[in-house]
């Protein structure tokens, strides 16, 4: 069974800690992937407009599972959108605004939205993840399609906040960790693995022909779904236990090393 799809998370996985990757090496590997008919998918919690900025030469011909599966774009074609109803949006926002230590980004199709009143350090950090970020007075009457909330909070409050959000927003949204001091609220069942499933159905690709790479809680479903799920060496222990395989560190081009093995049909891809 040959590999037909490779899906990568970005932060802490495909990108190193400086948010960079070896472009020359990847370009060579990508040319070989195309020759072998292997599709390349970027599956990230990040905004679509942010993700395409990393792949200016090939964004038009690859696919993106953006906003943790909330928005799937394939070869520049809109393929799938999750969407919160106005009522669900308000339910979530009304609760989040009662949490004093949480900064909120409402993730819409056109923009990310966050409050002008938040401190500059947070807004600067948010801009590094959201190519399109609008500063608003409040979250009421925003006209967009919303599929995710990104929350920033002190690390010490992470576990308790995850637990309480799971209970309070049960059935409306699911909290997943997406890195230090950050929680993404996603629509139930609308995760990265769901986005990949949509693309696999479109292309007729089985889970046994898929390689995925990730390092965080929002990668769990896609690491489990693919036959070849690789946790990064820098991933937390619980993520490594879920994945069937392990790749090298994100700062040492761990993903590119494994892609090279895929292309050369080396173990475990030679079965």
Q: Are 45 and 68 in contact (CB under 8 A)?
A: yes
User: Is 9 considered catalytic here?
Assistant: yes
pTM of the model: 0.93
pLDDT tens track for 235-265: 999 999 999 999 999 999 999 999 999 999 9
Last residue of a domain, one of 156, 186, 216: 186
In a domain, 90, yes or no: yes
In a domain, 101, yes or no: yes
If asked whether residues 106 and 177 sit together in one domain, one would say yes
Catalytic residue among 9, 67, 184, 219: 9
In a domain, 271, yes or no: no
If asked whether residues 56 and 96 sit together in one domain, one would say no
pLDDT tens track for 213-241: 999 999 999 999 999 999 999 999 999 99
If asked whether residues 104 and 178 sit together in one domain, one would say yes
The mean predicted confidence, pLDDT, of the chain is 96
**Residue 261, Cβ density class (10 Å: 0-12 exposed, 13-18 middle, ≥19 buried):** middle
In a domain, 269, yes or no: no
In a domain, 59, yes or no: yes
If asked whether residues 77 and 196 sit together in one domain, one would say yes
Confidence of residue 34 (pLDDT cuts 50, 70, 90): very high
Q: Which domain holds residue 258?
A: 5-81+190-264
Phi, psi of 164 (to 5 degrees): -70, -35
Count the Cβ atoms, other than its own, within 10 Å of residue 94: 10
If asked whether residues 131 and 48 sit together in one domain, one would say no
CATH number of the domain residue 174 falls in: 3.30.1240.10
Confidence of residue 178 (pLDDT cuts 50, 70, 90): confident
Confidence of residue 143 (pLDDT cuts 50, 70, 90): very high
Return the SS3 of 113.
strand
pLDDT, position 134: 97
What's the CA gap between 143 and 153, in Å, rounded?
26
Which stretch of DSSP H or E encloses residue 27? helix 23-35
Last residue of a domain, one of 151, 169, 186: 186
If asked whether residues 45 and 113 sit together in one domain, one would say no
CATH number of the domain residue 226 falls in: 3.40.50.1000
Domain count, the chain: 2
Phi, psi of 5 (to 5 degrees): -150, 135
Last residue of a domain, one of 186, 220, 244: 186
């Amino acid at each position: 069974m040959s590999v037909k799809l490779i899906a990568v998370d970005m932060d802490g996985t495909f990108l190193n800690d400086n948010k960079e990757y070896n472009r020359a090496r990847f370009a060579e590997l990508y040319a070989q992937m195309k020759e072998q008919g292997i599709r390349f998918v970027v599956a990230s919690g990040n905004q679509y407009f942010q993700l395409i900025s990393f792949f200016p030469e090939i964004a038009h011909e690859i696919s993106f599972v953006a906003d943790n599966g909330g928005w799937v774009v394939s070869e520049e074609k809109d393929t799938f959108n999750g969407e919160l109803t106005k009522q669900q949006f308000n339910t979530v926002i009304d609760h989040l605004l009662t949490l004093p230590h949480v900064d909120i980004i409402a993730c819409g199709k056109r923009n990310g939205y966050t409050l002008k009143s938040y401190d500059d350090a947070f807004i600067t950090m948010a801009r590094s993840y959201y190519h399109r970020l609008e500063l608003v007075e409040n979250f009421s009457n925003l006209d967009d399609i919303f599929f995710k909330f990104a929350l920033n909070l002190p690390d010490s409050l992470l576990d308790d906040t995850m637990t309480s959000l799971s209970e309070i927003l049960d059935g409306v949204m699911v909290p997943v960790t997406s890195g230090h001091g950050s929680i993404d609220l996603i629509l139930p069942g609308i995760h990265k693995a769901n986005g990949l499933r949509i693309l696999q159905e479109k292309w007729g690709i089985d889970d046994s022909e898929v390689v995925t790479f990730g390092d965080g809680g929002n990668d769990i479903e896609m690491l489990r779904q693919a036959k070849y799920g690789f946790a990064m060496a820098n991933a937390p222990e619980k993520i490594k236990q879920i994945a069937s395989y392990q790749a090298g560190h994100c700062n040492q081009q761990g993903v590119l090393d494994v892609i090279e093995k895929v292309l050369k049909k080396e173990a475990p891809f030679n079965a």
